[in-house]
């Protein structure tokens, strides 16, 4: 647009130096009008017909010839470039009207229009290239952040699983070694107390037995605390839901019985993954998280009202969910018929088996 304004301004100065003001007013207004229409209308047929009419009119009214470089600006380096030859017709017919100096100036203006058009095309191509690079870098950055988030979530899950395995190992060690030794000692003390006849000895052994019983109870409590059953799934999920601020969220928990730890950790990771996807990919305004227990199943349903299917069905996020469910021999389904819904069920009997 700026190039065209500069070109029209230069031509107007040249034109008013050749003709008086009254003779140039109409050609200048016509040229400005045509250039404005060409700027905002991309219809090639319209431009071609307008150019032909203007060229024909210039044959009979020489002042119009001055603005021909501005009119042909839109045809330079296009499929209609050949029609610019017709612009020579009014110049040839009215050749005697121009002095040599004026003809040289006119040729220079035509050359300038070619140069300006060339710069404009190169500038536009550079802009498109820069915009494409910017969009590609933005897309790569978003994908990288998504991958980092998914890897972080996966790493947290693996760390939790490693900590769980270590706690279970320690609990088994205490139960199998220390627990068995204390149980054996308590039984032996009971046997000794049963055969001894000295009251003082019985009382002393009874004190020792009580101390060992207290120690055994303390070990049982410690083992229980180390055991994975100590994880409160409701409290953990309630905290995750409370921290979710992207949109309105409702939470329903109906697990009368405490599910196995493997199920707990899987549910926690899946809920985190699903809510993270809502934040990154969804236009949802409402999310629901529901947990139901049936006689043979543990069920988890996460649904939002987003109108666009945001995530690749084979993407890493959903693939992580599939792998967690498959590892526990569960069933997972994704539904996009009404928003986005994740439906998961774990078979109790398979887990117990």
Measured between alpha carbons, how far is 137 from 156 in angstroms, rounded to an integer?
28
Query: Does 197 lie in the same domain as 160?
Result: yes
Q: DSSP of 194-255, one letter per residue? A: HH---HHHHHHHHHHHHHHHHHHHHHHHHHHHHSGGG--HHHHHHHHHHH--SSEEEEEEE-
Q: Which pLDDT tens digit goes with each residue over 9-67?
A: 667 766 666 666 666 777 778 777 877 777 777 777 887 888 788 888 888 887 777 77
pLDDT at 288 (0 to 100): 94
Mean pLDDT of the chain: 78
Query: Rounded to a whole number, what is the distance in angstroms from the first to the last CA of the chain?
Result: 76
Query: Does 343 lie in the same domain as 245?
Result: yes
pLDDT at 308 (0 to 100): 58
Unique residue bearing structure tokens 């945001």: 310
Residue 302: exposed, middle, or buried by beta-carbon count in 10 A (0-12, 13-18, 19+)? buried
By the 8 A CB rule, do 307 and 339 touch? Answer: yes
32-41, 202-211, 270-279: least confidently modelled range: 32-41
Structural domain contains residue 37: yes
The residue range of the domain holding 224 is 154-228
Contacts with 205 (C-beta within 8 Å, 6 or more apart), sequence order: 189, 192, 193, 196
Last residue of a domain, one of 164, 199, 228: 228
Last residue of a domain, one of 228, 263, 290: 228
pLDDT at 77 (0 to 100): 63
pLDDT at 290 (0 to 100): 95
Query: Does 245 lie in the same domain as 207?
Result: no
Query: Does 245 lie in the same domain as 343?
Result: yes
Q: Which pLDDT tens digit goes with each residue over 282-334?
A: 888 999 999 999 888 999 999 998 875 554 555 677 888 888 898 888 999 98
Query: Does 239 lie in the same domain as 224?
Result: no
Once rounded to an integer, what is the mean pLDDT over residues 120-124?
Answer: 79
305 phi-psi bin (left φ>0, alpha ψ -120 to 50, beta other): alpha
pLDDT at 273 over 80: yes
By the 8 A CB rule, do 343 and 290 touch? Answer: no
CATH code: domain of residue 299: 3.30.565.10
Unique residue bearing structure tokens 């299917």: 309
Measured between alpha carbons, how far is 64 from 57 in angstroms, rounded to an integer?
8
Measured between alpha carbons, how far is 243 from 249 in angstroms, rounded to an integer?
10
pLDDT at 291 (0 to 100): 94
pLDDT band of residue 252 (cuts 50, 70, 90) is very high
pLDDT at 22 (0 to 100): 67
Q: Which two tokens stand for residue 296?
A: 């043979």
How many residues does this entry show for the chain? 353
Measured between alpha carbons, how far is 118 from 332 in angstroms, rounded to an integer?
58
Query: Does 257 lie in the same domain as 183?
Result: no
Q: Which pLDDT tens digit goes with each residue over 136-185?
A: 888 888 888 777 866 776 676 677 667 666 766 776 677 667 767 777 78
Query: Does 342 lie in the same domain as 258?
Result: yes
Query: Does 221 lie in the same domain as 258?
Result: no
Query: Does 238 lie in the same domain as 202?
Result: no
In a 3-state reduction of DSSP, which class is residue 112? helix
Q: DSSP of 32-72, one letter per residue? A: HHHHHHHHH---HHHHHHHHHHHHHHHHH-GGGGGGHHHHG
Query: Does 321 lie in the same domain as 247?
Result: yes
Q: DSSP of 299-314, one letter per residue? A: EEEEEE--SS--S-TT
By the 8 A CB rule, do 68 and 83 touch? Answer: no
More confident residue, 268 or 223: 268
Structurally, how many domains does the chain consist of?
A: 3
Of all residues in the chain, what percent carry a pLDDT higher than 70?
Answer: 80
Query: Does 344 lie in the same domain as 246?
Result: yes
What's the angle, vertex CA 324, arms to CA 321 and CA 326, rounded to 5?
Answer: 105
Element containing residue 256 per DSSP (H, E) = none
Last residue of a domain, one of 79, 98, 117: 98
């Amino acid at each position: 647009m700026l190039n065209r304004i500069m070109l029209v301004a230069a031509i107007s100065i040249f034109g008013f130096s050749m003709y008086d003001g009254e003779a140039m007013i109409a050609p200048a207004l016509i040229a400005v009008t045509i250039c404005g229409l060409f700027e905002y209308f991309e219809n090639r047929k319209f431009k071609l017909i307008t150019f032909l009419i203007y060229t024909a009119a210039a044959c009979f009214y020489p002042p119009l010839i001055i603005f021909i470089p501005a009119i042909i600006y839109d045809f330079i380096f296009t499929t209609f470039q050949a029609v610019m030859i017709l612009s020579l017709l009014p110049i040839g017919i009215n050749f005697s009207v121009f002095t040599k100096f004026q003809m040289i100036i006119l040729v220079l203006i035509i050359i300038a229009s070619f140069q300006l058009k060339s710069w404009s095309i190169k500038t536009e191509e550079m802009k498109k290239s820069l915009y494409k690079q910017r969009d590609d870098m933005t897309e790569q950055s978003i994908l990288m952040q998504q991958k980092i988030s998914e890897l972080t979530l996966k790493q947290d899950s693996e760390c939790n699983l490693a900590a769980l395995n270590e706690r279970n190992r320690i609990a088994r060690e205490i139960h199998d070694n220390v627990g068995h030794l204390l149980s054996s000692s308590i039984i032996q003390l009971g046997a000794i107390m049963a055969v001894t006849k000295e009251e003082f000895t019985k009382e002393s052994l009874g004190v020792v037995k009580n101390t060992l019983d207290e120690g055994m109870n303390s070990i049982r409590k410690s083992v229980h605390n180390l055991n994975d059953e100590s994880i409160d799934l409701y409290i953990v999920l309630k905290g995750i839901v409370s921290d979710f601020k992207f949109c309105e969220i409702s939470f329903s928990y109906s697990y009368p019985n405490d599910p196995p730890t493997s199920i707990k950790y899987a549910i926690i990771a899946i809920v985190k993954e699903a809510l993270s996807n809502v934040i990154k990919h969804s236009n949802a305004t409402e999310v629901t998280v529901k947990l139901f227990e049936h006689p043979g199943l543990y069920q988890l349903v996460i649904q939002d009202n987003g109108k666009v299917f945001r995530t690749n069905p084979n993407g890493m996020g959903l693939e992580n969910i599939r792998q967690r469910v498959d590892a526990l021999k569960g069933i997972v389904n994704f539904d996009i018929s009404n928003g986005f819904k994740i439906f998961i069920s774990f078979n109790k009997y398979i887990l117990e088996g």
